[in-house]
Amino acid sequence: MTIEVYKVATRIVAYYQVAGSPHEMLASDEVIRVPFNQTATVRIEGQDEHGNVVPLSGIAWHEELAETYTLSPTPPPDPQKRILTPILIGSDPLPINADGDPSPGTAPLFVSLMVSVLDRTATHLGFSYDIENP
């Protein structure tokens, strides 16, 4: 008798990387903040209760009701990644469904991210000063 053990994902975790940035960021509080004039790559992964990565299948990205962004596949196509392109300033949800059980069974997972398209995002702080001679 052979027993196969599969890790099952208990949650979907989302990351995003704004075009031109070398850093991928966790969508903390399930919010993705993207400047209006830049695209971002959104990536999801399944994790078990210990934070181990578990494969996802049957991934469905839902953007049907979004008015502030569009999604498109990444080159090369990866079901766990999408390119997000802002089209309006504002916020819209991004619901995602997936199966977190790599066995023939199913473990339906759902997450609803909030996409916030920002008017401007500061990238650094600037300051100036004057020196006066007495």
pLDDT bucket at 17, cuts 50 / 70 / 90: very high
Give the domain extent around 46. Answer: 11-116
| pTM of the entire predicted model | 0.83
Asked if the model's pLDDT at residue 125 lies above 80, the reply is: no
* CA separation for the pair 77, 2 (Å, rounded): 35
- Residue 6: inside a domain: no
- Residue 124: inside a domain: no
Asked if the model's pLDDT at residue 46 lies above 80, the reply is: yes
3-state secondary structure the chain: CCCCCCCCCCEEEEEEEECCCCCCEECHHHEEEEECCCCEEEEEEEECCCCCEECCEEEEECCCCCCCEEEEECCCCCCCEEEEEECCCEEEEEEEEEECCCCCCCCEEEEEEEEEEECCCCCCCCCCCCCCCC
- Residue 133: inside a domain: no
Q: What are phi and psi of 10, to 5 degrees?
A: -110, -5
- Residue 100: inside a domain: yes
- Structure confidence at residue 73 (pLDDT): 96
Residues whose CB falls within 8 Å of the CB of residue 99, separated by 6 or more in sequence, listed in order: 56, 57, 58, 106, 107, 108, 109
Q: CATH no. for residue 91?
A: 2.60.40
Per the structure, how many domains does the chain have? 1
Q: Give the pair of three-digit tokens for residue 52.
A: 């181990």
- Residue 132: inside a domain: no
Distance of CA 85 to the CA centre of its chain: 13
- Residue 15: inside a domain: yes
Asked if the model's pLDDT at residue 27 lies above 90, the reply is: yes
- Residue 107: inside a domain: yes
pLDDT bucket at 124, cuts 50 / 70 / 90: low
- Residue 121: inside a domain: no
